[in-house]
Each structure stands twice: as structure tokens, then as C-alpha cells.
Structure 1
Amino acid sequence: MPGTRTFEELIAEAEAVSVDGWDFSWLDGRATEQRPSWGYQRLLGGRLASASAALDIQTGGGEVLAGAGSLPPAMVATESWPPNVAKATALLHPLGAVVVADPDEPPLPFADEAFDLVTSRHPATVWWTEIARVLRPGGTYFAQHVGPASVFELVEYFLGPQPEARLARRPEAESAAARAAGLEVVDLRSERLRTEFRDIGAVVYFLRKVIWMVPGFTVEAYLDRLRELDALIRSQGPFVAHSARFLIEARKPGRP
């Protein structure tokens, strides 16, 4: 809860803090999100332990990969946003991983059949034909994706109804695209999870960090709606939304 701090104080604090990387620890005590039951990072660690050459796409600041355990002999991560490239490099190089600056557009800067494992956590875009191209026969794509209408209670609070956007990121559509690229989907699980924002600073930080939620978000542009939401949280308690996550594992046919 915001306690005795004013709207202006909470906003100023949230605007000043860095949003580099993919670490959300600044939100501790200010926002909560249920985690998927499958435990992606733990499962990722098991996949990495048995891989010989792996690629982590859109690694962010490298936090998820760095915390997954021992890395394979050949480990590469890609990232497009320069501040995250620098952060991931500092975090992952000491662990033996190479970080490659990549615009997240085809083609991936790697040879055909270069990896026996490709991973990603919450990729903004998924280029299935490229994933299939860089996987070796018998290799696996293992990832946790953001599902449809994730945290849309918050998105639509600022943008109004988004009926077309609600249709995007459906697990069945992603699995169909994976199959169209020649992969076999061997696991697909999805969950919707409760998320709470306990003060307006948490909302501002989240929207500054996850920039595709409300494109072009600035405090100035949405000041009136932020004031209204601040009053709502103070009078009624946390703003509740629901995130969507799905786990997908797809295998490239053929002998490893």
C-alpha cells in the first residue's frame, strides 16, 4: 500500500529508477505475480545440463539464464536493447557465455544446425523458421512465452478495449506456427496468474520496463489516468490483473 507517501513522491521515485535488465526486484513488496506451476528456470537448468551447444534468444539482462545452473560448453545469448546487452555481457561472460547484439529480426546470426538447444523466456517475437534452421536434428526449443491478454486489465485501463490484441499470443497459434516450421510440439501448458499492483509507483515502473504493454507510455501522457488509479488503489486496495504464461517444447525431427 502507498502508505503516507504522496502521489507525486511515488511517481518521482518510479520515474527515476533504472529499468535496465530483466530483474523486477524493485517491485518487492509493491507488486506481486503468481508464478507458473512448472518452474521454468528449474526446468531450463535441466535442459542446459544435458546440452552441448545452446542459444538463449532475447536474454534481457541475462538474469534467468545466469540463475539456471551450469551452462553447456558452448553457450550463446542474443539481445537487442543496448543497455541489456551491456548488462547481460557483464553477468554472463564470467559464466562462459557469449552475448551477441542482435536486432531480433531474421536471420539469426548463426549457421544452420548450430545448436542442440534453443531457449527463451518471454520473447517479444518468435521466428519459428529461424529457430528450426539453427537447431540440429533431434534438437529442442524450450521456452516460456507470454500468453494472450496478459495483464490486460491494466493495459485496457489506459488504452480502452483491445479486442484484436486479445487474440494475439495464443498457445494454439504458436504451436501451429512451430509445426509449420517443421518442429514437433511435445509439450504445451498454459496458466493465468493473479498479479497485484499495490501502489501507483509499481504501475509506472512496470509500464516503463515492459514497454510493449502501453506503447509510448509516459507519466505526462497518462497523468490524469494515473491520478485516478492512485485514488482507486488508496481507497479499494491493490489493482488486480492476470498474467498469461505458456510453456512450449518443440523438437526438430531427426537423429541427434
Structure 2
Amino acid sequence: MDYSELKELWRKEEKNAFEGWDFSYLKNRWKDEGLPWDYKEILKKYLNSDHKLLDMGTGGGEFLLSLNHPYNNTSVTEMWEPNVKLCKKKLEPLGIEVKQAFNDSKLPFKDNVFDMIINRHGSFDIKEVKRILKPNGIFITQQVGGKNNEKLSNALIKNFKPLFSQNTLENNLKEIEKNFFEILYAKEFFPYLRFKDIGALVYFAKIIKWEFPNFSVDSCFEELCKLYEELNVKGYIESIEHRFIIVCRKRK
């Protein structure tokens, strides 16, 4: 296959639709090292069925539904309009409260509402989390750190500058403790992510716009070809991810 044929193939990947936060399209086309902790198991350790639960930045609600928490005790926020519509269609009929959140510093809830707030890969303002969480309430967040995919971003995007370099475990712990939370558990990890074909990488880079700004097959074609040659030698393209998790309790 010559490079003009590859370009057309990659352009098709670039145009593929994406909904919710579901990467099942890439099944068997990438491999993630995984994390030394299990986010869901950690949540279940603290979550009771009578708890008022908020899932911040729920995406399409896929993960939330896997928790099987009573729907009448469940609320979600989401910022991105297509996902808000999806949640209203999928979650509201079940009895789950769906709220669009435009600003992390002004969430559409009263004070001291929730027993537990969870946040998986979403932004948050710890002062606002504190406001809507009950005394002794639990906040659990798994974050994508500021060094996520940095090596791959530099390989694809000319003059790449990371947007969230300050998003580290250390910096978050300082801010959380400053706001009168007790840290119950915290861990940071840098797993590998390997793409088995360049089309999978194209699909991924087009979605993750903040890590691959202004990415397109046409503008990054030279870089994609270099990675294609690397893939033919190694059998994969490796990226290094950045993850950390924090479990904390609001003091009275």
C-alpha cells in the first residue's frame, strides 16, 4: 500500500463518528497497560445504596450505569451538549437527575446535598465540591494527569505545548487538604498505551483535541508517515499516559 492510499484510509478514520465516551470502536486495535488500582472497586468500598450520589462529568453515563446505584439516589452533571442530550435520553427516563454544568465553580445544586461525589477524568473545583457535599461526605476522583500522552503529542503536533502541566497528584493534594479534606487514599501511575495501527491513532487523536490541538491527517501527514514506519519495525506505537486517584473525606 502506498502513502496516497494510506492517506485516504486515515482520512476515513478521521471522519468516523464518536458518541458518549465509548471507545469500543478501537477494540483489539490498542492495548492499555491498566492501572494498579480498580476505580470501581474503590467506589464500591465507600458507596452505600442509601447514599445520594453525584457523578461529575458522566460522559454518556456508561460507567455510572455499571455501578447499579439506585436511580432515585443518583444525579449526574455533564458539560458537553451532545452528551447532555444523550444523558437526557438515556438516564432521565430511569429516574436519574441530569444537570448540564457550564462552570465547575457554580454547580446547579444546593449546599450539603450529596453523601458521595465521584469524578472520573473530569475537571472540578474543590471548593464547589466541598459546598455540595455533606459533612463526612466522600469525594473520589481519578484524573488524567498533565503529562498524559505528552510524548505522542510531541511526535504528532509541531511546537506542542501541554495545557494542563500543573495537573499532578502533588498539586491536587495540596489544594484538597487546604480545603479541609482528609486524604484517605492517593496514588499516581504512568501506564503505557500502545496503538496497533495508525488508523486507530488517527481516530483517537481527532477526539482528544486538547492533547492533539489542530490535528488532522492532512496537516500531520508527515508525522503520521514517520510513525507508520516506526510501527512497521516495532509492531506498535507507544504512548505514556498519566493517571492519579484521590479518595478524601470532607471534615465536619
Q: Same fold (TM over 0.5)?
A: yes
* TM-score (normalizing by structure 1): 0.88
1:10-21 matches, cutoff 5 A:
10-21=9-20
Q: Which amino acid aligns with 1:181?
A: N
1:18-57 matches, cutoff 5 A:
18-57=17-56
CA distance in structure 1 between the partners assigned to 2:50 and 2:228 by the alignment: 48
CA distance in structure 1 between the partners assigned to 2:31 and 2:104 by the alignment: 32
Shift of 1:24: 1.1
Secondary structure at the aligned position of 1:49 is classed as: coil
Q: Which amino acid aligns with 1:248?
A: I
Contact 2:150 2:162 in 1 (8 A): no
Which residue of 2 is the match for residue 208 of structure 1? Answer: 206
Q: Which amino acid aligns with 2:87?
A: A
Which residue of 2 is the match for residue 103 of structure 1? Answer: 102
CA distance in structure 2 between the partners assigned to 1:39 and 1:182 by the alignment: 26
CA distance in structure 1 between the partners assigned to 2:73 and 2:132 by the alignment: 14
Which residue of 2 is the match for residue 77 of structure 1? Answer: 76
Which residue of 2 is the match for residue 143 of structure 1? Answer: 141
Contact 2:137 2:250 in 1 (8 A): yes
Which residue of 2 is the match for residue 192 of structure 1? Answer: 190
CA distance in structure 2 between the partners assigned to 1:164 and 1:99 by the alignment: 32
Q: Which amino acid aligns with 1:39?
A: D
Partner deviation per Cα, 1:65-94 (whole Å, 9 max, x = no partner): 111222363211111111111223333234
Shift of 1:113: 0.7
Q: Using a 3 Å threshold, how does the CA distance of structure 1 residues 87 and 214 change in structure 2: closer, same or farther?
A: same
CA distance in structure 1 between the partners assigned to 2:132 and 2:164 by the alignment: 31
Partner deviation per Cα, 1:173-225 (whole Å, 9 max, x = no partner): 00111112222221101111111011111111111222211123222322222
Contact 2:157 2:220 in 1 (8 A): no
Q: Which amino acid aligns with 1:86?
A: K
Percent identity between matched residues is 29
Shift of 1:7: 1.5
CA distance in structure 1 between the partners assigned to 2:113 and 2:207 by the alignment: 32
CA distance in structure 2 between the partners assigned to 1:146 and 1:87 by the alignment: 23
Partner deviation per Cα, 1:41-84 (whole Å, 9 max, x = no partner): 23334444345211111111111111122236321111111111
Which residue of 1 is the match for residue 155 of structure 2? Answer: 157
CA distance in structure 2 between the partners assigned to 1:164 and 1:18 by the alignment: 26
Shift of 1:162: 6.0
Shift of 1:115: 0.8
Moved more, 210-219 or 170-179: 210-219
Q: Using a 3 Å threshold, how does the CA distance of structure 1 residues 149 and 89 change in structure 2: closer, same or farther?
A: same
Q: Using a 3 Å threshold, how does the CA distance of structure 1 residues 88 and 45 change in structure 2: closer, same or farther?
A: farther
Aligned length: 250
Which residue of 2 is the match for residue 87 of structure 1? Answer: 86
CA distance in structure 2 between the partners assigned to 1:41 and 1:96 by the alignment: 22
Shift of 1:103: 1.5
CA distance in structure 1 between the partners assigned to 2:92 and 2:16 by the alignment: 25
Contact 1:48 1:71 in 2 (8 A): no
Is 2:231 aligned against 1:233?
yes
Q: Which amino acid aligns with 1:97?
A: I
Shift of 1:242: 1.5
Moved more, 200-209 or 12-21: 12-21
